[in-house]
Amino acid sequence: MNPEWILRIVLFGIVHWILAGILLQDLASRQRVFGGHKPPWAIVILIIPCFGSLLYLLFHPQILNPDSKQKKSNRQKGEK
């Protein structure tokens, strides 16, 4: 096997596990998730490399900008 391909596979694995760790931490801290069940999301994140993580990010975009939820909450408090 070509060393270049081995390097690509290793880097892909490292990126997957870092992203999976971040997303699993976010999943554990959420009270509600899309679909209502956390275990299927955890399985998708872990088993389907990158695509599972991307699906989670697609359905839970707040992880990319966590301050937006807090700003929205502050705006709603100001309106009351």
Question: Is the predicted pLDDT of residue 78 greater than 70, yes or no?
Answer: no
Radius of gyration of the chain (CA): 17
Question: Is the predicted pLDDT of residue 73 greater than 80, yes or no?
Answer: no
Q: pTM above 0.75?
A: no
Question: Is the predicted pLDDT of residue 3 greater than 80, yes or no?
Answer: yes
How would residue 74 be classed by pLDDT, with cut points 50, 70 and 90? low
Boundaries of every domain in the chain: 3-79
Q: What is the DSSP-derived secondary structure letter of residue 62?
A: G
